[in-house]
Every structure is written in structure tokens, then in C-alpha cells.
Amino acid sequence: MLLEETIDMMLSADYKKQFIAEYHQLKERYNHLNKMVNDWDKLAFVPSCSLSIYQSQISAMKQYLNILELRARIENINLNN
């Protein structure tokens, strides 16, 4: 799901829709950052931060995704919406 596709859900009064939007936004950002790190030697720019900083961020984002997935199972929230 693209970030712009989550706008209406994020603005919803329904916490489940906000939760789904949060999950998909994080997943999209995680995937993009992970791709950047995987293509580190092919980047068209020189990152200001070290590779290890980006790897730490990816690790934290993955942990956050896992927590959201656990909460979704416990709260019966379908993340495939």
C-alpha cells in the first residue's frame, strides 16, 4: 500500500483504520530503507550516516512492525485491508 493510500485511514475516527494505516506506512518506509541498504554500493549519492546507523534503524523498524502484527492478531485487526 502506498503512503498516499493511507491518508483517509489515518484521518479516520476509527482506531482500527488508523492502526492499519500506521502499519502500512511503517511497512512502506521499512521496505524503502531496506532496499536502499541492500543497494548501498550502487547508490547515486553518498549518505551522511554510516551503514550501521541505517541497519540499526531498519532493525528498530522491523521490531516495531512485529509488535504491530502481534497487536493486530490480539485485537483481531485485519492488516490486509
* Model confidence pTM above 0.85: yes
How many Cβ atoms from other residues are within 10 Å of residue 18's Cβ?
Answer: 15
Structural contact between residues 58 and 34, judged by C-beta atoms closer than 8 angstroms: yes
pLDDT in tens, 34-80: 999 999 999 999 999 999 999 999 999 999 999 999 999 999 999 98
